[in-house]
Structure 1
Amino acid sequence: MRQNYLFIVLCSLVLLVNCKGGDDSVNPEDSKTLPTGTIEGKVFAKNGTKPIGGATVFTIDSKNQVYHTYSNADGSFSLTAPEGNTTLHIQTGNGLNFRTEIPITVKKDETTNVPTKDSKLNQIAKIAYVEGSYDEIEAIITNLGYTATEISYQDLKNFNTISQYDIIFLNCGSRNLAQTGTSSPGNDLSVFSNLSTFITNGGSIYSSDWAAAYLVGGNQNAQSCGIAGGFLDFTKICFNINGNASMYNNCTVSNTAMASALGFSTLDIQYDMSLWQKIQYYDPLFWEVLVQKDNEPLMIRTNKYVDKTAPKTTVGTSLNNNHMTICHHTANGNTVTITINQNAWNAHQAHGDYMGSCSGTTSSGNIYYTTFHNHASGNIGKAGPILEYVILNL
């Protein structure tokens, strides 16, 4: 009887080990029965010259197990995957805005190299920007090989117009150009309301320097804490225009994923004009600090914003109708955010995966705010790669 009992226990343990699947790497038990090969390549932006670090590279086998890795700062990657015909997925951010899918054949114990022409990151998102006086983020978007449509300040007052986009860039000084003719943000309630609804329903925004007024209220900028009118209240964030023209030395990229993707964690940032918008207060439970100087936040983001009064509506390009973002649980206990075809959801759900980003608690889009930006006239140094990273991860 004791021998039978030990045999049953041993069989149970073997079954438990084999149920782990094939995420991340192939363990010794799997390697005896699961032939694998290696996929290698380099991820580039659409321009074919800018390497992209921090991209998620993965394949999914017939049992909906995910094998994944991340591209290095020079864009290179090496992925172990099961033998056979499969699809190689390359994504940044949550995969909804930028992604590429490549049919590939993995050969046992061999390395398959992905041609550069195939590993360029495609733009899925529809991107809009509002022209600014001091920031030209659209120039960086174009240099990467992607496209963005200019919309006006007045367009922000029409939700049907902005809802067709996935990402909206609000350049510093764009409210200058709007010439609203008012010092009161009350006349812009439609803009604040539309941006609030846009984000709540999955759209993402980038706001730089004086464009803080889009978040908390103000005319050309948010002159001080206490102005009312934006969609973010002052328990979340407030600003003051008291920044001096100066060089900020030894700033830190405090987000480890960003630093790894960029290949550097410190930089000097030039503020070429005075009266730039400083962050006076922020809620650390709501915002994540991405770049800072000592304890001063210089770039922050959140995906926790929800307007419970906002209507539920469709935002973004129809190309994502058949795709969804999920948090996938790997065999080693980690998680990875990927975008998959909706037809595969039931199988992933059966594995314990859930809808949405692994880092988010809502289905809302991202809000990025940065005190520094693309200078309209001059070199921005190592701040440039940070802004490129932001574009691809919104």
Structure 2
Amino acid sequence: MCSWKVTGVWGFMMCGLVIACTDEETAAVADLSAQTGANDVIGSGSQFGGNQGSEGSGWTGAGIDDTAGSDDGPLSVDFHSDGKGTDAAVNNGDVPAGNPPDAGLGNLPEADGGRPRETVGRGDLPDAQCGYGKVLGLICSPNDQVFVNNAAVWIDTMDCEGNPIHLETVSDDGGFYTIENVPSGYQTVHYQSGTFKNEHKILVKSGKTTDVTGFGYKQCFKVTNDPETPPPVEPVVCETGAILGTLCEGEGFVIVGPATVYVNTIDCNGEFVYVEASSAPDGTYVLNGVPVGPVWVFIEMNNLAIQVQTTVQANQTTVLDPLFDPICFPKEPCGFGSAAGKVCSLQGDAWIPDAVITVTTVDCDGKSVVAKTQSQADGSFALGGLPVGTQWLVVEYDGGGYQVPVEILKGTTTDVGVVGAPSCNPGGGCGYGALAGYVCAPSGVKVGNATVYVTAIDCNGAPVTIVAQSDGQGNYFVDGVPSGTVTVQVVKGNFSVTYTVPVEKNKTTAVSDVVLSICFPKNQAKLAVVTGDWDHIQAILDKLGLTYDLYDGTNNVSQTVNLLTNLPKLMEYDVVFFNCGADHYGIFGTSTLISQNLQTYVQAGHSIYASDWAFIYAEAPWSYAIDFYGDDAGNSGPKVGAAKTITGVVQDPNLVNYLGKSEVTIKYDLGAWVVVQSVVAQVMTHIAGYITEAGGNVPLMMSHHPYGGEGRVLYTTFHNEPQATQDMTQILYYLVFEL
């Protein structure tokens, strides 16, 4: 059989193996394969999996299961499979032992109801929440033992929203490559140069750099004939060392801390090794247990990151001396922002044009800063280049002047409103005007059917509040508003925003022209999202510009269990969204506290939304409200909906107003979706449709207030991905602000 010998130039990386066999030996391997079938272990310790071929065709299996032998890097074997000299190449890649199977191979188990689990291509995510990291690697040709430049390197995977992405780069002159914005979890890196092609399974950590240059060094070893050197059958104990260093900042040697220092690499067995430490107040740090050989040390502090390469020796401490090899962070540049507002006379009877607005200050480096501008004909002004922090606006004009403090934030414009008088009423005398504005999500998407409150002082000196409603497209118009500066508050569900507007008598003020921020703040409501296999409501929240906390409902479900059984934690959220998924019934059954806590949560004025297979959260705590099809006491009874596209009839007048129509297209691209049979009178049916399985028109989107207060339970039989039509997307926008 094939014999073994380790050769190479890097003595500290004695773990990369490539089989080299003579023609007679490869023929012998093929003959043995044909005789032994699919499950015999060949001399390398690698298990060749396949099926017995038909008579005369030889062995036809093409898979390799490397669990029986050493994890020895790229393994290529050529053998004659048909007795006619035809070569069949088998390559197992470089999959570290213990890694989960690649989800892209379609080997995830099917969930109950016959619906296949979504194969996102990322494998099991070790992180609680999907994020993005960077991959640093090195390509070496094992045949030529040279590093390969200009090789194509790519990763095909799914991003954190479940969308397919293709990331690609090329190796530099030294064979190194870097791929940015790689989703966390197990990924497969492919690379090719001419006829040389291979791939690696890697582990990416969110916010970190994964150093897989060790794969490149391993590939520059070969195995040649040497009968005295048997193949390894067990992973060896890899040697390690330590790294000691000190940080500095800027041009000098000012010690800083704390910083995060880490190594994310592989050991001699191809196993991933992650070592992390925090620098001490004096800037020193120590990394222990680092695999020997070349490694990259990554250092992060205050959103800054640097990296340095060093070589670790066995049982020794590598010192990165700041006097000779300083690791210095560049000093963060000073931050700047701007301010905007309108200048009114101190008497409050006129807008002031040509007023001079000046800020005299110093930046974070102590450099003098003088910023100056003039107001426009309507009194408005904008002044940029202001250092972050509290600054004083000096306003000067003929007949008056004053100073106004303003807090400047980096990269943003601070709206100081009206300066000079609490309320500005140009022309003198009381009168009435109008406001025209719109309601919007943080991303700018219009929000319909919101309530608008305008608070002002009328011409008799009495406080007055005018209540109006935005239309289906989010626009509002309020007439009869007293002149002067008024306060506008917009409320929709758990979302609200407040701003002041100057109103002139006998004029209509366009709110967006005089107010910088009229949309709901992105973090004004606290939202939680429980993930699922076939839904991504978080993609809708992203499009609306809303922030949320993500809880795993598919892999590490203990996160969701801990949330739902911890009532104080649950009560921190205004709304909890449950994505459609296969594991919710099991999650719900872990504790009777979940049902009790959800009842308390909604009774306290909070809301929940569930879709399709997450129906247990809408049903169990309030079993009287929604009658699901069949034996809904179990998990599979209601899952009878067939894949189809139907026309839904909108029964919610506000939703009709928002959509501008009363019929919508609802698509179910997967079978086994949950069918609702009926609802009680207290439950509002927003959308209904004819469902053959139910024998009539049944609710497709419904909600109710179980305790008569603000708390709401909303359920849809459809969801966001991958089946959403344009109508469905608009409906989901609508329901977010109904909660």
Q: CA deviation at 1:60?
A: 2.5
The answer to which structure has the higher helix fraction is 1
- Matches of 1:82 and 1:253, distance apart in 2: 39
Q: List per-residue Cα deviations over 1:253-285 (Å, max 9, x = no partner).
A: 21111221232221110011111111112102x
Deviations 1:85-140 (A, max 9, x none): 211112213xxx21111111221111111127422122421000100111110110
Q: Deviations over 1:316-371 (max 9, x none)?
A: xxxxxxxxxxxxxxxxxxxxxxxxxxxxxxxxxxxxxxxxxxxxxx3350110111
What is the aligned counterpart of 2:613 among 187, 210, 213?
A: 210
Task: Say if 1:134 and 1:111 are closer, same or farther in 2 by CA, change over 3 A.
Answer: same
Aligned match of 2:560: 153
Q: 2:500 maps to what in 1?
A: 103
Are residues 1:238 and 2:628 paired? yes
Q: Secondary structure at the match of 1:386?
A: helix
Query: Which residue does the alignment assign to 2:672?
Result: 275
Structure 1 residues not aligned, in runs of 5+: 1-32, 217-229, 307-361
Q: What's the offset of the Cα at 1:76?
A: 2.4
1:380 lines up with 2:725 in the alignment? yes
State the 1:238 CA deviation: 3.1
Tell me how far 1:47 sits from its aligned partner: 1.0
Change in CA separation of 1:51 and 1:235 when aligned onto 2, cut-off 3 Å: closer
Where do residues 27-106 of structure 1 align in structure 2 (5 Å cutoff)? 35-48=431-444, 50-62=445-457, 63=462, 65-80=464-479, 81-93=481-493, 97-106=494-503
RMSD: 2.2
> Which has the higher relative contact order, 1 or 2, with Cα contacts under 8 A spaced 6 or more apart?
1
Decide which of 285, 289, 293 is 2:685's aligned counterpart.
Answer: 289
1:247 maps to 2:593: no
Aligned-pair CA distance for 1:174: 6.0
Query: Which structure's residues are more often strand, by fraction?
Result: 2
One-letter amino acid of the counterpart of residue 36, structure 1: Y
CA 1:260 to 1:241, structure 2 compared with 1: closer, same or farther past 3 Å?
same
- Kept in 2: contact 1:192–1:215 (CA 8 A): no
**Amino acid paired to 1:391:** V
Q: What is the alpha-carbon distance in structure 1 between the residues aligned to residue 698 and residue 437 of structure 2?
A: 38
Q: CA deviation at 1:235?
A: 5.8
Greater C-alpha radius of gyration:
2
2:597 counterpart (173, 191, 194)? 194
- Equivalent position of 2:581 in the other structure: 173
Structure 2 unaligned runs (5+)?
A: 1-428, 552-558, 630-637, 691-696
| Structure 1 position 77, deviation (Å) | 2.0
Rounded to whole Å, the distance in 1 between the matches of 2:550 and 2:582 is 12
How far has the Cα of 1:231 moved from its partner?
Answer: 1.3
Contact preservation (8 Å) 2:624, 2:680: no
1:310 corresponds in structure 2 to none
Instruction: State TM-score, norm by structure 2.
Output: 0.36
Q: Which residue of 2 aligns with 1:392?
A: 737
Give the TM-score taking structure 1 as reference length: 0.66
2:661 corresponds to which of 264, 285, 296: 264
CA distance in 1, matches of 2:608, 2:432: 41
- Give the whole-Å Cα distance in 2 for the aligned partners of 1:259 and 1:39: 25
Residue aligned with 1:173, SS:
coil
Q: 1:119 aligns with which of 513, 518, 521?
A: 518
Q: Secondary structure at the match of 1:188?
A: coil
After TM superposition, give the deviation of residue 179 of structure 1 in Å. Answer: 5.6
d(CA) in 1 for partners of 2:564, 2:546: 22
CA displacement at 1:75 relative to structure 2: 2.8
* 8 Å CA contact retained: 1:238, 1:281: yes
Hey, what's the Cα distance between the residues in 2 that align with 1:366 and 1:208?
A: 14
> Conserved in 2, the CA contact under 8 Å of 1:207 and 1:368?
yes
Asked whether the equivalents of residues 667 and 724 of structure 2 are also in contact (C-alpha less than 8 Å), the reply is no
The CA distance in 2 between the partners of 1:78 and 1:205, in whole Å, is 32
| Secondary structure of the structure 2 residue equivalent to 1:393 | coil
User: What displacement does 1:83 show?
Assistant: 2.1
Q: Which amino acid aligns with 1:193?
A: Q
Q: C-alpha deviations, 1:155-209, integer Å up to 9, x for none?
A: 2121122111010001111635x865xxxx6543121111111111111000111
Please state if 1:298 is matched with 2:643: no
Structure 2 CA distance, aligned partners of 1:46 and 1:186? 37
Counterpart CA distance in 2 for 1:282 and 1:296 is: 9
Q: Percent identity among equivalent residues?
A: 29
Distance in 2, matches of 1:107 and 1:146, equals 34
Asked if structure 2 preserves the Cα contact closer than 8 Å seen for 1:60 and 1:86, the reply is yes
Cα distance in 1 for partners of 2:726, 2:710 equals 32
**Which amino acid counterpart does residue 373 of structure 1 have in structure 2?**
H
Contact 2:667 2:723 in 1 (8 A): no
